[in-house]
Structure 1
Amino acid sequence: MKLLALDCSTEACSVALLDDDQGELEIIETTEAAARQHTRRLLPLVDSLLADAGVALSQLDAIAFGRGPGSFTGLRICLGAVQGLAFGADLPVVPVSTLAALAQTAVNAGHHAPMIISTLDARMDEIYWAVYSAQEQGVELVDIERLTAPEQLLEGHSLDLATTVAVGSGFHYGDRIGATSELKTWHADILPSAKAIAQLARRDYLLGKTCRADKALPTYLRDEVAWQQ
């Protein structure tokens, strides 16, 4: 399998290529800090990555992307690029939660814990968050993804905080989150990566969780934001 993954949900612009055709899983990734430059940088990064790997778009089996939540503009840019690439090469698309990718990125970085709280600053005095369990085949969502006030983080969850890791920019509201001091650690500087999206997308692809390019949608978690194809 060859799978291309893209993410623009945060200030980073990240692309990765997963290849396990030779029996060994290999993932190469390129990430740039590209705040407000996603439109200019995303496709050149894709072209460069594929050229360096000697892989043509037609050789891919699927394209994955960070579906959100995250930056509204970044999500639109990423999905527009994915739809264009997937339509042109007649490829299926694998949407992956950016909160899940954030949790998986933490695992990849060696921050192991039974449970991982994944958070993103949603602006407007709110945070996106979800709880994930660490599994051998990739993180698994516990309950649902949420958009709440910082004070409502972990509402409805009962966790052993002493063995729980939190990640992401929700830490910006740490002084308003009562559980912060009880957590094992909080790694605020970790961003979702295309490598993590590729890993989770591989699992979903093998389970048949794909869609056509025109059916792929971003996840905003804010009802008033609408996507127009």
Structure 2
Amino acid sequence: MKKLENIILIDTSLGACSAAAFKGDACAVRSEMKAHGQSELLVPMMQEVMAELSLEYKALDAVIVTMGPGAFTGLRIGLSSARALALSADIALYGMSSLQAMALSALDGRKDVERLRVLIDPRRDDYYMQDFDCKGMPLNEAQLVDGHAACQDLDALDMICGDAAERFSQRELENLSSNSMQKINYGFNSADLLCIGSIIKMHPEYLSDQVEPIYLRGADISQSKKTYRTLASD
């Protein structure tokens, strides 16, 4: 795959709504922490970053979207918007795992990390987890794991990062040595799309042309609490 010059990058998978556009060396980003109402925010954000760079949709080389794991509704909004744009503008569509996006952001500029673990918060007591090497390439399959499994092989890691890293450090404190605690990087901001976009512009091998949501678990479905009156039969 050739290097990408003009791209738009969309992320709605992690409790935020974000869009970043790149035109050569110039870039523009909009990001807002918002777990709900992303469908109303995303398209205006996309329009704003494109307008800031005076970039036409037909001039884009690709639309790139994070595929999860993450929030179900957010994933559907981001993926459907990316597909609609790619189809209407007749441009390429690529996806990237949200776990790998976090790994690439955490690794940027670091030369002291050989192996890191990314933990994403599914808003339950467990974690989406995957390990990556120093180049941001996956070392195992993405998994949904409990706290015990997330504590395995900590001595082999140089860093733990992701939006669930803080919860992990608090809940699994008794399983973490002081050395392990020093490895935890709490930070991930959706504005890191600028960092991620710059990396994948130069290294499109991180992208997948198989753009499908990565769920790892079933949807949360709750039964209706309404009560219904049964009509007596004759």
Partner residue, 2:95: 95
Query: How far is the alpha carbon of 1:206 from its aligned partner?
Result: 5.8
Do 2:96 and 2:207's aligned partners in 1 also have CA atoms closer than 8 Å?
A: no
**Equivalent residues in 2 for 1:192-211, closer than 5 Å:** 192=190, 193-199=192-198, 201-202=200-201, 205=204, 209-211=208-210
Q: Residue 219 of structure 1 aligns to which amino acid in structure 2?
A: I
Partner residue, 2:186: 188
Distance 1:187 1:152, change over 3 A: same
Partner residue, 2:227: none
Distance of 2:147 and 2:64 partners within structure 1: 30
Structure 1 residue 144 and structure 2 residue 141: aligned?
A: yes
Query: How far is the alpha carbon of 1:89 from its aligned partner?
Result: 0.5
User: Which segments of 5 or more consecutive residues in structure 1 lack a partner in the other structure?
Assistant: none
Report the count of equivalent residues. Answer: 211
Partner residue, 1:84: 84
Do 1:118 and 1:167's aligned partners in 2 also have CA atoms closer than 8 Å?
A: yes
Distance of 2:111 and 2:117 partners within structure 1: 12
Partner residue, 2:215: 220
Structure 1 residue 127 and structure 2 residue 127: aligned?
A: yes
TM-score, length-scaled by structure 2: 0.79
Structure 1 residue 165 and structure 2 residue 162: aligned?
A: no
Query: How far is the alpha carbon of 1:188 from its aligned partner?
Result: 2.2
Aligned residue for 1:169, secondary structure, equals: coil
TM-score, length-scaled by structure 1: 0.80
After superposition, give the CA deviation of every residue in 1:165-198 in whole Å (9 maximum; x if it has no partner).
1112323133226246432331224245433442
After superposition, give the CA deviation of every residue in 1:133-169 in whole Å (9 maximum; x if it has no partner).
223xxx21112211111210154x57534xx111123
User: Which segments of 5 or more consecutive residues in structure 2 lack a partner in the other structure?
Assistant: 220-234
Which region of structure 1 is more displaced relative to structure 2, 49-58 or 113-122? 113-122
Aligned-CA RMSD value: 2.7
Query: How far is the alpha carbon of 1:40 from its aligned partner?
Result: 1.1
Distance of 2:155 and 2:26 partners within structure 1: 34
Q: Whose RCO is larger (CA < 8 A, sep 6+)?
A: 1
Q: Residue 215 of structure 2 aligns to which amino acid in structure 1?
A: Y
Distance of 1:32 and 1:87 partners within structure 2: 26
Do 2:143 and 2:216's aligned partners in 1 also have CA atoms closer than 8 Å?
A: yes
Distance of 1:201 and 1:94 partners within structure 2: 11
Distance of 2:124 and 2:15 partners within structure 1: 17
Aligned residue for 1:143, secondary structure, equals: coil
Query: How far is the alpha carbon of 1:111 from its aligned partner?
Result: 9.0
**Equivalent residues in 2 for 1:95-114, closer than 5 Å:** 95-108=95-108, 113-114=113-114
Distance of 1:207 and 1:109 partners within structure 2: 17
**Equivalent residues in 2 for 1:50-65, closer than 5 Å:** 50-65=50-65
The structure in which a higher percent of residues are strand is: 1
Partner residue, 2:172: 176
